[in-house]
Amino acid sequence: MRYKGIGIGLALAATWTALPVVAQVEVGRFDYGKMWTFEYPPAEYFTETYGFDATSEWFERARLSALRIPGCSASFVSPSGLLVTNHHCVRGAIASVNRPGEMLVDTGFYASSLEQERRIPRFYADQLVAVDDVTDEVFAALDQADTDAARTEARQQSFGRIQTRLAERHAALGGQVRVQIIGLYNGGRYSAYVFRRFTDVRLVFAVELKMQHFGGDPDNFTYPRYALDFAFLRVYGEDGDPLETDHYFELSLEGVQEGDVVFVIGNPGATRRLNTVAQLEFQRDLSVPARVQYYTTRLAALREFYTANPDASEAVNVRNSALSVSNSLKAYSGRLAALKDPAILARKRAAEHELQAEIAHHPELSTRYGDLLAQIAQIQDGRRELAAPAAAFDQLGRAGRESSLLLRALAAYSYLSARNGAARLDTVAALRSRLLEIGDLPSALDALLLEERLADFERALGGDHPLTHVALGGKNARDAAADLRAGSVLASSASTQRAVSEGTLTSSDPAMTLVAALIPVYSEFRRQDAPLTARERQLASELGRARFAVYGRDVPPDGSSSPRITDGVVRGYEYNGTKAPPYTTFFGVYDRFSSHGPGTDWDLANRWLTPPPGFDLRTPLNFVSTADTYGGNSGSPAVTPGLALVGLNFDRNIEGLSRDFIYLPERGRNIMVDVRAIRASLDHVYDAHRIVMEFETGQLYRTEAEADAARR
């Protein structure tokens, strides 16, 4: 039985009155957010709240015009496959199409003809063509299993059957079909998403990094903001021609004003709004501080390298990695601040008490779900006991942020164990190949990353731990890392290749000695952590089922990188004793440049140093709204009720970092690039008339000359 429609914030009966302290805290209607799914479209709410007819056809057009790209979102803006997204979403893709001597991330790119559009390797764009609620089918399998292991097996088998069936149903898409099953409400519901995947995607236009990242790390997660964060790509069909599509967003010429409603369509990443208070307290006390420390130390290492080696060929990639780590550090720091906010925890606690009271009020729910919160709290006690090794091994083995020496040592340990243990020859050969495929980081950077991993052991496990003794040998982390690199054949890919070929790689290598001490500690941690993780996942799924039974679709699920639509209003806000405006203009770009000067994070690309004739500095550049966005929403189209594109989501303000746990529209804002800024810069600064004419007329122009002739 479901109890849909029991509103959050509803006054409760006797059970609620027994909690006078909690009852004084106001729980907001949308504390769990507004990340609405397309399978449960909030048609009635949109229609009643914003005064337009939110029909099924409206939602379908919005869904088919939006796209998911790796880690981000995008949208079609012409019937010829032209799509727009954030520059920072495709920074790696831009670098991947560099030709000898080019630095397109820095210089920008414009394909002035169709033939100059460059195919991006290993890139794709997914269009959601269908979605099915498959909850009953999955639960029918899960509810027959009586252990966590059996439930995992049952889940995988049911997923396989569903994916096969839906792939056959959509066989007309051929090799383009992708079926993904995603758990909503922490596994309280399941939906099967059928995507059409486009793999021929080409770069059309990209601004310079200085304009996309204007303000640098200091401006990240802040507002007012002045970033021109956009890029254009094009999807090509299987015939090699630009894709013809009936679904796309036209760009608005009017833009938005304060008070206007916008709908942001994209793929928000995993949030933790449905976590229990016990889980949030564990994150506040241990796991999030550990992650902040990890990102702090790795960012320092990356910056130390590229500051000392600005002209090194690897410096660009290291700088891009530093930008990513810096973004993560600021995000986790904001999450930690939110978790330490007693008002937020009080609201979460009040909502939890309300849910518990509703479960207790209905015997059929209480019997199955009544002690879930207590069981989840008990899991957190176990996690606290494992917090030290969890911090010591955080992100262990992550390529690009882990020493290549340590990566090789871990791979070599598996290889030697298999070889000496008389494993199958094909297994030994595969492990050997994996070891030899590990490339080299710059030696100076490798030393810095190795130093930080050794320091992790001491910081988390303590100086007296056996692993710390082996790792440091009585030295400080920097000296220990230097000695390890000097004494191990695994310090470079070349010396590793020789040692493997000559058979001289042995367990006596100092890096192997370190890994031999590391593996038992890590394995024991994983042995204890795995059942906790599996049990917590099962309990969270049960709590999700309970929550859905109580609130139904009135409470949207957490973010899950699945397609969502969220609503908000363009609105400034009070901050730092003043008021942030609803939008900024290009005047602010030149004010920041003049105030901070060349060589700073507010430096300008050369073509922007002098505004061209006809360029109106009053043009809106960035604007904010109350829409509920999160990581993964970068590049998301912001559209009007008429589905006209008015902006591209690219960030949140610092107050919005609490959205990992709670949606507070009075504090947080999402930040968007205004389409008026996109059009003005393309037209007056970049002379990219071929793009402007395409999204204005809906016609495809193969050359700039052809577009210019049409303009005349």
**Per-residue confidence band for 296, with pLDDT thresholds at 50, 70 and 90:** very high
Residues 372-400: tens digit of each pLDDT? 999 999 999 999 999 999 999 999 999 88
**Mean pLDDT of the region 408-421:** 94
Residues forming beta bridges with residue 633, ordered by sequence position: none
Hey, what are 45's tokens? Answer: 């709410």
The predicted pLDDT at position 316 comes to: 67
**Per-residue confidence band for 423, with pLDDT thresholds at 50, 70 and 90:** confident
Residues 200-224: tens digit of each pLDDT? 999 999 999 999 999 998 999 999 9
**Mean pLDDT of the region 521-547:** 95
SS3 of residue 119 by DSSP: strand
Whether pLDDT at 20 is above 50 = no
| pLDDT > 90 in the chain, percent | 88
Whole-number Å distance between alpha carbons of 278 and 611: 54
The predicted pLDDT at position 436 comes to: 96
Residues 70-125: tens digit of each pLDDT? 999 999 999 999 999 999 999 999 999 999 999 999 999 999 999 999 999 999 99
The predicted pLDDT at position 590 comes to: 98
Neighbouring C-alpha atoms within 13 Å toward the C-beta of 505: 30
The predicted pLDDT at position 13 comes to: 28
Kindly provide the b/e burial profile for residues 78-97, where b requires at least 16 CB atoms within 10 angstroms of the residue's own CB: bbbbbbbbbbbbbbbbbbbb
Whole-number Å distance between alpha carbons of 223 and 572: 10
Hey, what are 562's tokens? Answer: 């699945």
143, with CB counted inside 10 A (0-12, 13-18, 19+), is: exposed
Left (φ > 0), alpha (ψ -120 to 50) or beta: where does 144 sit? alpha
Whole-number Å distance between alpha carbons of 532 and 561: 24
* DSSP class of 124: -
Whether pLDDT at 539 is above 80 = yes
Residues 608-642: tens digit of each pLDDT? 999 998 899 999 999 999 999 999 999 999 999 99
**Mean pLDDT of the region 420-428:** 88
Whole-number Å distance between alpha carbons of 333 and 215: 19
The CA distances from residue 461 to 125, 478, 522, in Å, are 43, 18, 12
Per the CB < 8 A criterion, the answer to whether 118 and 203 are in contact is yes
The predicted pLDDT at position 488 comes to: 97
113, with CB counted inside 10 A (0-12, 13-18, 19+), is: middle
Whole-number Å distance between alpha carbons of 57 and 608: 42
**Mean pLDDT of the region 540-562:** 94
Whether pLDDT at 9 is above 90 = no
The predicted pLDDT at position 319 comes to: 79
Hey, what are 119's tokens? Answer: 């195919």
**Per-residue confidence band for 306, with pLDDT thresholds at 50, 70 and 90:** confident
The amino acid present at 68, given as its one-letter code, is R
**Per-residue confidence band for 8, with pLDDT thresholds at 50, 70 and 90:** very low
Whole-number Å distance between alpha carbons of 365 and 32: 21
**Per-residue confidence band for 676, with pLDDT thresholds at 50, 70 and 90:** very high
Q: What are phi and psi of 526, to 5 degrees?
A: -65, -35
**Mean pLDDT of the region 192-207:** 98
Residues forming beta bridges with residue 466, ordered by sequence position: none
Which residue from 38, 34, 11 is spatially nearest to 22, judged by alpha carbons? 11
Residues 337-365: tens digit of each pLDDT? 999 999 999 999 999 999 999 999 999 99
What pTM was computed for the model? 0.90
Whole-number Å distance between alpha carbons of 272 and 290: 17
**Per-residue confidence band for 17, with pLDDT thresholds at 50, 70 and 90:** very low
The predicted pLDDT at position 60 comes to: 98
The predicted pLDDT at position 280 comes to: 98
CA 450 to chain centre: 26
The predicted pLDDT at position 321 comes to: 85
Whole-number Å distance between alpha carbons of 35 and 181: 18
Whole-number Å distance between alpha carbons of 173 and 127: 12
Whether pLDDT at 10 is above 80 = no
The amino acid present at 204, given as its one-letter code, is V
627, with CB counted inside 10 A (0-12, 13-18, 19+), is: buried
Whether pLDDT at 21 is above 80 = no
Whole-number Å distance between alpha carbons of 84 and 93: 14
**Mean pLDDT of the region 587-600:** 97
- Other C-beta atoms lying within 10 Å of the C-beta of residue 328: 17
Whole-number Å distance between alpha carbons of 701 and 99: 25
Q: Residue 665, preceding bond cis, omega within 30 degrees?
A: no
Per the CB < 8 A criterion, the answer to whether 547 and 32 are in contact is no
Which residue from 654, 663, 647, 658 is spatially nearest to 584, judged by alpha carbons? 647
Whole-number Å distance between alpha carbons of 64 and 674: 22
**Per-residue confidence band for 26, with pLDDT thresholds at 50, 70 and 90:** confident
Q: What are phi and psi of 358, to 5 degrees?
A: -65, -40
Per the CB < 8 A criterion, the answer to whether 234 and 67 are in contact is no
Per the CB < 8 A criterion, the answer to whether 224 and 127 are in contact is no
Q: Hunting for tokens 């501080």 — which residue is that?
A: 289
Kindly provide the b/e burial profile for residues 396-414, where b requires at least 16 CB atoms within 10 angstroms of the residue's own CB: eeeebbbbbbbbbbbbbbb
Hey, what are 362's tokens? Answer: 């209905």
Compare 309 and 501 and report the one with higher pLDDT.
501
Whole-number Å distance between alpha carbons of 591 and 224: 12
* DSSP class of 639: E
SS3 of residue 40 by DSSP: coil
Per the CB < 8 A criterion, the answer to whether 647 and 634 are in contact is no
**Per-residue confidence band for 255, with pLDDT thresholds at 50, 70 and 90:** very high
Whole-number Å distance between alpha carbons of 204 and 83: 9
Average pLDDT, the chain: 93
Taking the alpha carbons at both ends of the chain, their separation in whole angstroms is 66
- Long-range CB contact pairs, 432-439, < 8 A, 24+: 432/500, 435/408, 435/411, 435/496, 435/500, 436/493, 436/496, 436/497, 436/500, 438/404, 438/407, 438/408, 438/411, 438/493, 438/496, 439/404, 439/493
